[in-house]
Amino acid sequence: MTLIERFMLDVSTVVDKALDELLPAADTEPTRLHEAMRWSMFAGGKRIRPGVMFAAGRTFGADEKLLVRTAAAIEMIHTFSLIHDDLPAMDDDDLRRGRETCHKKFDEATAILAGDALLAMAFEVVACDENLSPELRLKLVSQIASASGTPTGMVAGQQLDLEAEGQTITIDELENIHARKTGALISVSAIAGAMVAGASSAEVAAVELYASKIGLLFQITDDLLDVTQPTETLGKTAGKDAMAEKATYPGHFGIDATREMADKVRREAAAALDSIDCDTGLLLEFADLIADRSK
């Protein structure tokens, strides 16, 4: 196991423990709702957002205790978005991470409500984190809310993505969609880590630039995996984006040019860290992890 794999395993363990404590128990009413929330929260997610938040936080010396609840909250929001994106009215996916999506395992109404509840709970978790100063908690709530919603956040990105299906769009439009749909929440995770650690505004800005590259890198490799890996490896239906006539990087540029693009973006992510005085090894390794993943 490489150093970064070990790091991600540690982050997952800590964040999953916090999530287990924060989420209502599966045997409290309404049990079906709480089972559904837990079904999707503990479905083998890679914990990419907590990972980048911890990596940025550790880079500037933040303690685990300061990072864990906000990381858990952000992962709740990510999970909310997966549950809603998988719904029949949206991407209509039956399989996620190798098992049934929330609305298939439970039902559509429960899935919609499980997502809603996770979104609301995330803000409660951050607002109540007494390890952080009131001013910092407020900044986190507002920035995370902004990254989740509209006009520049995740919900806006999903809307634009749905509207682009079957349309011919430019590469700028494609990047605009991904910056909101995937990039915004990854960026705010990295920024949150740096902010919690008390990084300077110049350092936070460097991390933000790094994170925007990581978000793009994540999407490019995601698109590549969709066309190069079989369903069994992905744990979700392979080739689905192409079938849905979604705009993708390989669809636009071809597989080889997309691979070159991924390399270029990885180097840009690294370059964004040049101005930071601390050891940025962890963030560099995190970029490699995103680029080299197989699912």
Select from 16, 24, 252, 268 the one that contacts a copy of itself (CB under 8 A): 24
How far apart, in whole angstroms, are the C-alpha atoms of residue 31 and residue 37? Answer: 10
Q: Tell whether residue 162 is a contact of a copy of itself (CB under 8 A).
A: yes
Rounded to the nearest whole angstrom, what is the least distance from the CB of residue 222 to a copy of itself in the complex?
A: 21
Contacting a copy of itself (CB under 8 A), which of 95, 127, 278, 284?
127
The helix (run of H) or strand (run of E) holding residue 84 is helix 64-85
Residue 149 as a binder of a copy of itself (CB under 8 A): the answer is yes
Peptide bond into 30 cis (omega under 30): yes
Q: Which of 218, 234, 214 is nearest to 226 (CA)?
A: 234
Taking the least distance from each CB to a copy of itself, the nearer of 151 and 230 is: 151
- Name the nearest CA neighbour of 158 among 208, 84, 223: 84
Classify residue 245 by its DSSP letter: T
Interface of this chain with a copy of itself, residues 33 to 72, rule: CB under 8 A: 33-34, 37
Please tell me whether residue 281 binds a copy of itself under the rule CB under 8 A. Answer: no
**Could you say whether residue 119 binds a copy of itself (CB under 8 A)?**
yes
Cβ–Cβ < 8 Å for 83, 115: yes
- Characterize the bridge pairing of strands 95-96 and 99-100: antiparallel
**Number of residues forming the site for a copy of itself (CB under 8 A):** 49
E strand map for 126-181: none
Binding status of residue 84 toward a copy of itself by CB under 8 A: yes
Contact 239, 227 (CB under 8 A): yes
Q: Which of 109, 202, 243, 257 binds a copy of itself (CB under 8 A)?
A: 109
Residues that bind a copy of itself (CB under 8 A): 24, 28-30, 32-34, 37, 80, 84, 87, 89-90, 107-110, 112-113, 115-117, 119-121, 123-124, 127-128, 134-135, 137-138, 141-142, 145-146, 148-151, 153, 155-156, 158-160, 162-163
